[in-house]
Chain A
Amino acid sequence: MQMSGAQMVCEAIIAEGVKTVFGYPGGAIMHVYDEIYKQNGFEHILNRHEQAAVHAADGYARATGEVGVAMVTSGPGFTNAVTGLATAYMDSIPMVVISGQVPLSLIGTDGFQEIDAVGISRPCTKHNFLVRTLEELPRVLKEAFYIARSGRPGPVLVDIPKDITVDIGDFAYPDSVDIPSYKPTYKGNKRQIEKAVEAIKSAKKPLLYLGGGVVLSNAADLVRELAEKTQIPAVETLMARGVMGAKNPLLLGMLGMHGNYASNMAMSETDLVISLGARFDDRVTGKLSEFAKYADIIHVDIDAANIGKLVDVDYPIVGDVTQVLEKMIPLLDDVDTDRYNAWREILKRYDVLHPQSYVDSDEVIKPQWAIERIGTLIGEDAIITSDVGQHQMWAAQHYPFDRPRQWINSGGLGTMGFGFPAAIGAKRAYPEKTVINITGDGSILMNMQELVTAAEYKIPVINVILNNHFLGMVRQWQTFFYEKRYSETDLSFQPNFKALAEACGGIGYDVTTKAEFDAALEDAIKQDKVCFMNVQTNRFEDVLPMVPSGGALFNMMLPQKTEGEEK
């Protein structure tokens, strides 16, 4: 069939089953937008900044597991999208970003709004394409979606010169992809799996170390089955919250810099780490030479380059977590779960000794209370996104996550400004679910223009701003490590958050008491409008436990047990 390059882009998006595209038009991509106007195979959401458009596509992808799609113009449109690409890249999120480029004849001439998009995005995409001919466009689009979702997922950029979107040619969307140089490994090596199983059966203190790969592989049910069958306790990384489910007695909690005592001690004392889809990030391991010092390590990862990158691995298994567990679980029929009884008892005692706790207050809203309260009132029905800072860590520590994909945050890059647009993407994917962005007074301002997007499209996400009048996480480090010199972290000067939300067509709530919190949240859930809940919290609350950067996991700063109601 004969059509323009711009039409081909739309046809490919429809063929891939994409229902929503997030984006922002401009000169180089205008022909594609002209075709978007004419078609009705998918909807387009006009975010008010390209960064937000990419985060929204990212949030959509994280919530659904499908490829998110964003569209931007050349030059500044593309450069605005870079933080979004990098955020998705660090967390292995499947995404296709389509950018306009100046016409082929102008490439290399410093043309108006020309920037080397493939050059800039090379280190923050899984792959990228500069389309050079109309003939290759259908294949490139097909490959982009395939590469984004296969193997270790990631964002793919397709940069399309304007003249290619105008030219007319034959279109047939390929049914299949064949890239001889790209063949991801899904099946784990059978021999290696058998060896790992033997190691599990002879361990005394095994530990499941669960990472974001479990979520990406949709393997949570299998992981729960493995834990249940073997009675091996589990720790989750920031990216894996929800995999085991908060009520699961085998879940110790989150490990790492802000992990709980039992989780970090478990990692320090285990004799066998069973790592599933985790990558030994420095925020998780602390001082590497002390990390899991007494343990052999089984490492299951779809990305061979992750294995042995930071720690030496005894049982490397390259493969998809789902496929590996499908083979591994049946081999564990005769596992003797009593072997691990003593180990679980030790860990239970650790948890009693130093539970995840905070000191609540009657005078002021504690951020941890607010998060627990959302959990109590909405719990598993909500999708929780977050920004970056203390509020993010408290959310990860205190929210009762019940299922994978319920918790959406920027773990690898730590991008402030991610939460609100990501919530918009998630809510668009699941309109029937309550979507709450737990954010800070610093982070929310980094994409606050999205109030307009959410108001226009009636995407009623709830932004709970845990307002400590600080760039709190940086302030905490200044308290601990910079002798309380609060250099440029005091946010005493504040916008009127309530008025700001209202000015953009949303709702604002000022919340200073627990009663007001409940009332505002209850009201917000019923509204079909986006809102800001401006929640005043105490200013100097710290995220604890904390492993100082570069320290050993077992050297934690723990919460002080002072007067007040211990929770």
Chain B
Amino acid sequence: MAHSTNERRVISVVVMNESSVLARVTALFAGRGYNIESLTVAPIPNSEMSHITIATNGSTKVMEQITKQLHKLIPVYKVIEHEEMVEKEMVLVKFPIAENLSDIAALCSTYNGGIVNVGKEMVIAQVADEPKRIKHFIEAAERYNPTEIVRGGVVAIER
């Protein structure tokens, strides 16, 4: 379990579905000075629960505190500090129609994606991959003058 200081970590938090629960979780991070790199939340199908995925960073000691403090929140069922996980992130990128579309399509397919929408002036590409590869994809996409990039934040599942 030895992690170097300020390592990136992904935490899954399973919570009761209630209106203020996300505020409780984010306020805890803000109030205690923990970082949030990305955060996603969605209901868990056929249940009264939601799954929050938080990418954060901190030393082992800080991570331990984050986990314990999250656990103390009344509507929190479970906190999983991921060790062995499959982690994915999605990104949507808008390109001008004038760019080389076949190059863009080829780039996207390298990163498990493709062009998902074509308009008069633009095309929209979608890619879902590991966060590190998403970063590479965005760097590569810069060449085609993207007009808008929207990242989705990570979701993770323990293996």
Query: CA–CA, A181 to B50, complex, Å?
Result: 12
Contacts of B27 in A (CB 8 A): 122-123
Contact across chains for B15 and A181 when beta carbons are under 8 A apart: yes
Query: CA–CA, A179 to B75, complex, Å?
Result: 8
Query: CA–CA, A119 to B26, complex, Å?
Result: 12
Query: CA–CA, A179 to B73, complex, Å?
Result: 12
Q: What is the minimal beta-carbon distance from A372 to any residue of chain B, in angstroms?
A: 41
Contact across chains for B74 and A304 when beta carbons are under 8 A apart: no
- In the complex, whether A229 has a CB less than 8 A from a CB of chain B is no
Query: CA–CA, A182 to B72, complex, Å?
Result: 8
- In the complex, whether B65 has a CB less than 8 A from a CB of chain A is yes
- In the complex, whether A147 has a CB less than 8 A from a CB of chain B is yes
One of A119, A130, A181 near B76 (C-beta < 8 A): A181
Contact across chains for A180 and B72 when beta carbons are under 8 A apart: no
Total contacting residues, chain A, CB less than 8 A: 18
- In the complex, whether B69 has a CB less than 8 A from a CB of chain A is yes
Contact across chains for B61 and A303 when beta carbons are under 8 A apart: no
- In the complex, whether A515 has a CB less than 8 A from a CB of chain B is no
Contact across chains for B72 and A303 when beta carbons are under 8 A apart: yes
One of A127, A180, A308 near B61 (C-beta < 8 A): A308
- In the complex, whether B150 has a CB less than 8 A from a CB of chain A is no
Contact across chains for A130 and B72 when beta carbons are under 8 A apart: no
- In the complex, whether B1 has a CB less than 8 A from a CB of chain A is no
Contacts of B64 in A (CB 8 A): 308
Residue with the highest number of chain A CB atoms closer than 10 Å, among B27, B64, B68, B71? B68
Residue with the highest number of chain B CB atoms closer than 10 Å, among A132, A181, A182? A181
One of B71, B75, B76, B77 near A305 (C-beta < 8 A): B71
Which of B16-24, B101-109, B114-122 makes up part of the contact surface? B16-24
Contacts of A126 in B (CB 8 A): 74
Contacts of B74 in A (CB 8 A): 126-127, 147, 179, 181-182
In chain B between 79 and 133, which residues have their CB closer than 8 angstroms to a CB of chain A?
none
Contacts of B69 in A (CB 8 A): 305
Contact across chains for A305 and B65 when beta carbons are under 8 A apart: yes
Contacts of B20 in A (CB 8 A): 118, 130
Query: CA–CA, A560 to B65, complex, Å?
Result: 43
Contacts of B71 in A (CB 8 A): 304-305
Contact across chains for B68 and A305 when beta carbons are under 8 A apart: yes
Contact across chains for B68 and A304 when beta carbons are under 8 A apart: yes
- In the complex, whether A309 has a CB less than 8 A from a CB of chain B is yes
Q: What is the minimal beta-carbon distance from B46 to any residue of chain A, in angstroms?
A: 16
Query: CA–CA, A305 to B61, complex, Å?
Result: 11
Query: CA–CA, A182 to B20, complex, Å?
Result: 16
Nearest CB in chain B to that of A184: its residue: B72
Determine the main DSSP class of B at the interface with A. Answer: helix
Contact across chains for A122 and B72 when beta carbons are under 8 A apart: no
Contacts of A147 in B (CB 8 A): 74
Q: What is the minimal beta-carbon distance from B129 to any residue of chain A, in angstroms?
A: 33
Query: CA–CA, A132 to B20, complex, Å?
Result: 12
Nearest CB in chain B to that of A309: its residue: B65
Contact across chains for B23 and A122 when beta carbons are under 8 A apart: yes
Contacts of A180 in B (CB 8 A): 16, 77
Nearest CB in chain B to that of A183: its residue: B77
Contacts of B15 in A (CB 8 A): 181
Q: What is the minimal beta-carbon distance from A311 to any residue of chain B, in angstroms?
A: 11
Contact across chains for B23 and A119 when beta carbons are under 8 A apart: yes
Q: What is the minimal beta-carbon distance from A109 to any residue of chain B, in angstroms?
A: 17
Q: What is the minimal beta-carbon distance from A166 to any residue of chain B, in angstroms?
A: 22
In chain A between 171 and 210, which residues have their CB closer than 8 angstroms to a CB of chain B?
179-182
- In the complex, whether B31 has a CB less than 8 A from a CB of chain A is yes
Contacts of A179 in B (CB 8 A): 74
In chain A between 115 and 149, which residues have their CB closer than 8 angstroms to a CB of chain B?
118-119, 122-123, 126-127, 130, 132, 147
Contacts of B75 in A (CB 8 A): 181
Query: CA–CA, A180 to B27, complex, Å?
Result: 22
Query: CA–CA, A304 to B76, complex, Å?
Result: 15
Query: CA–CA, A304 to B64, complex, Å?
Result: 10
Query: CA–CA, A180 to B72, complex, Å?
Result: 13
Query: CA–CA, A179 to B68, complex, Å?
Result: 18
Contact across chains for B16 and A122 when beta carbons are under 8 A apart: no
In chain B between 1 and 42, which residues have their CB closer than 8 angstroms to a CB of chain A?
15-16, 19-20, 23-24, 27, 31
Q: What is the minimal beta-carbon distance from A182 to any residue of chain B, in angstroms?
A: 5
Contact across chains for A181 and B16 when beta carbons are under 8 A apart: yes
Residue with the highest number of chain A CB atoms closer than 10 Å, among B19, B71, B74, B76? B74
Contacts of B65 in A (CB 8 A): 305, 309
A123-B31, A181-B77 are known contacts. Are A305 and B72 too (CB-CB below 8 A)? Answer: yes
Contacts of A304 in B (CB 8 A): 68, 71
Q: What is the minimal beta-carbon distance from B40 to any residue of chain A, in angstroms?
A: 20
Contacts of B31 in A (CB 8 A): 123
Query: CA–CA, A123 to B29, complex, Å?
Result: 11
Contacts of B68 in A (CB 8 A): 304-305
Q: Mark B38-74, 1 if CB is under 8 A from A, else 0.
A: 0000000000000000000000010011001101101
One of A122, A182, A303, A308 near B24 (C-beta < 8 A): A122
Query: CA–CA, A180 to B77, complex, Å?
Result: 7
Query: CA–CA, A308 to B59, complex, Å?
Result: 13
Query: CA–CA, A309 to B31, complex, Å?
Result: 16
Contacts of B19 in A (CB 8 A): 130, 132
In chain A between 276 and 308, which residues have their CB closer than 8 angstroms to a CB of chain B?
303-305, 308
Query: Could you list 22 examples of A-B contacts with CB < 8 Å?
Result: A118-B20, A119-B23, A122-B24, A122-B27, A123-B27, A123-B31, A126-B74, A130-B20, A132-B19, A147-B74, A179-B74, A180-B77, A181-B15, A181-B16, A181-B74, A304-B68, A305-B65, A305-B68, A305-B69, A305-B72, A308-B61, A308-B64
20 new A-B contacts, CB < 8 A, other than A118-B20, A122-B24, A130-B19, are: A119-B23, A122-B27, A123-B27, A126-B74, A127-B74, A132-B19, A147-B74, A179-B74, A181-B15, A181-B16, A181-B75, A182-B74, A303-B72, A304-B68, A305-B65, A305-B69, A305-B72, A308-B61, A308-B64, A309-B65
Which 3 A-B residue pairs are closest in the complex by CB-CB distance?
A305-B68, A181-B77, A127-B74
